[in-house]
Structure 1
């Protein structure tokens, strides 16, 4: 296959068809018959047949020096299937007087048996030094010091010539952020490497196999052989320790002068944060136990990184949250909302890390910090109105999407805009300065194109690693997730304050009120009237389904009609509920919520066939409201939490509340699918469903109903979520 520059990310490195030849591999099926093996087996098992395919794995046992019990490999498989192979790996055997490790893992319908030397090429006793090294690593409280010391400790443990901590950027490229090396080597600290140096599929494998050893780039791999019937299904070596290396990567290492490499994955919230990348300029083999000890360093460093990063994120979130909370109090206390947002400390500037802000509200334009001038702002507003459809938009490179901003990129390279009312030209803008920086690349990041003899473009790994500098301009510091969530929360608080202050005036507008009521009545009437013909459609479909003469295709079509009628009936019911809320009068009482919440949790857990103990109910203070509507709110929110966390391995739903003199705030937290941060602003819109819910049942009406009920109670509801991690809904009730 010719690997060109456009398909490098699709190179199938998990099925390379070979292994590194410092060991050998045998794959067996569930009956312990050999289905694949490397072609170097008889180089280790002297006298063994060159072709073992189809044989019972017991055929290789006589070639081990110390006789294990008969069928001991089969017994190991049986034990591993029950307790996990990590409990038995590695198993010591001897071949011609030399100790070998047998490492067992799973590959689709096969078990991989990997045999590799049990002795490393160095004399360090990693397991004796690991404890001291970890203690010294964790002594550092500063993140950069932790990274620097981690590189030093890993070098002390495995003895490689160069050890680097390599961090991935959001676009996939990497940077060396810490380093420990031999004195005679040049420093690579601060160098950047393009994303194509470690392509996407390689990064995915680093998440599954936390260590990766390339023992000797100069030794040819051993091919994996199989039967003709199996040849169309290459052996998946994702979990293999001996997996052969892409020829492109081998050449890449040779171009660097590296003859052996070892990497340890660093994860943050199950995603690849970076690598501890180790290079040696002579061949070097590290045995399995030593690699596992080194992996422990990576896991502990990952935990430390996650703890420190979470601690930093939490401090940032608390700072932004306190600013939004204070602004909310100002808005309810001050006569003019624009003064509340701009005349105090904290102000609009403090809900994000911005250099300037502009508030356009109630026909006033108020500037804070450094902002575009009047003409520039007018043009920017026009561009936003004509091009931005989302209620929240942000970029760190404004001139790339709006070239007219180039003349004032020093002031505005980063833009975040929250739309309050497009019709009234009410917006909040935040700006970040340009941050010019020089990026030092290890060679030109643009891979050169070479042509094959046939004139086709082929991939050639870089062979020049001299420092290549690039100046990056017209960009600002990226907007963080914490800033995005802060602005979403502030937008909700501004909307609430506007409704509180302008509600009386707006409700006096009889035409608007009349139009609203007529529309509400219309939606109720048409939804109600649709039920009769829909019932008729469903009944006729059911009658026809009883006709035994109909073909299977016709019965299938009638079944779909029946299911569609049920779904439409459910949607009509929810639309009726939504319209009733507008007409219903509230009956305020003190609602004791605990029994209500417990009943909902129990019933919903039964519906979705989950263990009721996954729901933890904490503090449940009483609230003032309409009992029926409040019950509907909790039913919807708890149902979503249980429904969208069912696929989580350790499903958890927590319901709790806090209170002060002014309000009671309930929280419902799950560890389910989560919501993409870009979709958070639309979460309460009617018929809006998230992209990641797949085939999970729902109509997108429930949260719209909840929001309408909460607003009718003059309360507030907002959400915090992270995709793949879970969601928390906050519901605030006045006392």
Structure 2
């Protein structure tokens, strides 16, 4: 076999985008064929699986290495592909009469078709021990969102058999949080840890949103080059939909630092956005059978559907609660027409309308402050700043010190949401939130497994958590869109009351 087939320069493969890495994992092989069904690319390990070298098949018809009925099956399956991100599969097929049995995945790229194959792993007992309906019933029984996440992690671990399965949630800026986990005993807990957006870059998150899963069967396995690396036009192969693709070297190094031998990640896509991942770690090499990968994909999709339903229900409950606050406010005004001019009573009525650590009310220079709040002098300066710099009914920020360093609020106040109660703005209700780091708790204590390179594992997670902590200094939990909508409703109601009673 030539030098081209035996190796390739993989030292600069990432180039900031792993889809440019012309290499696959060694547990399968890859072929790319042109529109006229000639082989234009092949993985360097082709001979190991089909008994023919990659250079021998390049520019040859695919029919030369695949028997006719298998080629017919592939052609038929390709006819159902719709759109650029669809993958079709064939299970238990042979490329040659009497040859080994493979599971095959097919997808289209610009100017060609990618065929990936790996030896079939038929499990005697099939996939997971529970039916999908039973698994869904288990998670549907969860009363709270936390219990829903926790039970889902348990079910995902039952499907995959990995040592640790985490439900990993992204925030609006791409930072991540482990909101649930299921792990074998003796490896510690990572529940509640947060990680900066740089741990999974925006490019990687976009990749997850359009792909079914990412699998790394063995972090120590040498990548297998796909040759030629560049086509006649100087383009690298697009492996963004490849099931055998090699993860970026930085990600592999990260897994090694954690003592992880294999990983499997399935995206959780809610309403078209990447909500998070089922992230699975194993502390030895592990190749998940295709059956179980498909089950995990389906479970993630069903989980996402259930999650969307729960989030909609929670938003509706929150909106209903907001309407009750407004109704309570109107009733209180009916009983006491002077309420809108009484900061203390107004603060009492509105406490709890929006999740916050403190509240402040300013009405024509008179104030009421409760809970976590700035001093009277600081609050007065803040109202001046709001009147000078804010337009509209509602303003919210999770980093007030960064936005308005001149506000000089006390260090405990990191975020605020101000609601204008008069027109033009001069009177405000302000909800305050403390620094996010004060609300973070490690459910499992200090992370780090008792076995397999515990010190390295703990150090790596602490390093990521510290990086996130450094980014979060002086920032609060952000106010959600639903919470801002509630604030708008309160502001409009108070302005209407002000006009009626004025």
- Rounded to whole Å, the distance in 2 between the matches of 1:197 and 1:294 is 23
Count of residue pairs the alignment pairs up: 471
- Rounded to whole Å, the distance in 2 between the matches of 1:501 and 1:40 is 81
Structure 1 residue 215, shift from structure 2 partner: 1.1
Q: Quick check: 1:465 aligned with 2:465? A: no
**Distance of aligned partners of 1:348 and 1:89 in 2 relative to their CA distance in 1, 3 Å threshold:** same
Find 1:359's aligned residue among 362, 384, 387: 362
- Rounded to whole Å, the distance in 2 between the matches of 1:281 and 1:369 is 50
Q: Quick check: 1:33 aligned with 2:38? A: yes
Equivalences for 1:430-509 in 2 at 5 Å?
Answer: 430-433=431-434, 436-437=438-439, 464-465=459-460, 467=462, 474-499=474-499
Find 1:54's aligned residue among 36, 53, 59: 59
Q: Quick check: 1:18 aligned with 2:23? A: yes
Structure 1 window deviating more from structure 2 (227-236 vs 14-23): it is: 227-236
What is the aligned partner in structure 2 of residue 671 from structure 1?
none
Q: Quick check: 1:417 aligned with 2:418? A: yes
Q: Quick check: 1:217 aligned with 2:225? A: no
Structure 1 residue 415, shift from structure 2 partner: 1.8
> Larger relative CO (CA 8 A, sep 6+): 1 or 2?
2
Find 1:377's aligned residue among 356, 360, 379: 379
Larger radius of gyration: 1
Equivalences for 1:649-664 in 2 at 5 Å?
Answer: none
What is the aligned partner in structure 1 of residue 394 from structure 2?
392
User: Which deviations, in whole Å up to 9, do the C-alpha atoms of 1:321-368 show, x marking residues without a partner?
Assistant: 2223453576689755724887479834354234213132xx453425
TM-score for the superposition, normalised by structure 2: 0.80
CA contact (8 A) 1:172 1:195 kept: yes
CA contact (8 A) 2:421 2:491 kept: yes
User: Which deviations, in whole Å up to 9, do the C-alpha atoms of 1:646-696 show, x marking residues without a partner?
Assistant: xxxxxxxxxxxxxxxxxxxxxxxxxxxxxxxxxxxxxxxxxxxxxxxxxxx
- Rounded to whole Å, the distance in 2 between the matches of 1:424 and 1:102 is 64
Find 1:304's aligned residue among 282, 303, 306: 306
What is the aligned partner in structure 2 of residue 533 from structure 1?
none
- Rounded to whole Å, the distance in 2 between the matches of 1:27 and 1:309 is 42
CA contact (8 A) 2:378 2:408 kept: no
Structure 1 residue 405, shift from structure 2 partner: 5.2
- Rounded to whole Å, the distance in 2 between the matches of 1:70 and 1:49 is 19
- Rounded to whole Å, the distance in 2 between the matches of 1:350 and 1:158 is 42
What is the aligned partner in structure 2 of residue 243 from structure 1?
245
- Rounded to whole Å, the distance in 2 between the matches of 1:424 and 1:384 is 9
**Distance of aligned partners of 1:304 and 1:49 in 2 relative to their CA distance in 1, 3 Å threshold:** closer
User: Which deviations, in whole Å up to 9, do the C-alpha atoms of 1:458-505 show, x marking residues without a partner?
Assistant: xxx999426467576654443222221112223333444455566xxx
What is the SS of the residue equivalent to 1:465? Answer: helix
What is the SS of the residue equivalent to 2:41? Answer: strand
- Rounded to whole Å, the distance in 1 between the matches of 2:266 and 2:11 is 27
Equivalences for 1:84-163 in 2 at 5 Å?
Answer: 89-94=89-94, 97-119=99-121, 125-126=126-127, 128-131=129-132, 132-163=134-165
Structure 1 residue 167, shift from structure 2 partner: 2.2
Structure 1 residue 280, shift from structure 2 partner: 1.7
Structure 1 residue 423, shift from structure 2 partner: 5.8
- Rounded to whole Å, the distance in 1 between the matches of 2:52 and 2:475 is 66
What is the SS of the residue equivalent to 1:129? Answer: coil
**Distance of aligned partners of 1:194 and 1:28 in 2 relative to their CA distance in 1, 3 Å threshold:** same
Structure 1 residue 169, shift from structure 2 partner: 3.2
CA contact (8 A) 1:41 1:50 kept: no
Structure 1 residue 191, shift from structure 2 partner: 2.9
**Distance of aligned partners of 1:479 and 1:466 in 2 relative to their CA distance in 1, 3 Å threshold:** closer
Q: Quick check: 1:274 aligned with 2:276? A: yes
What is the SS of the residue equivalent to 2:257? Answer: helix
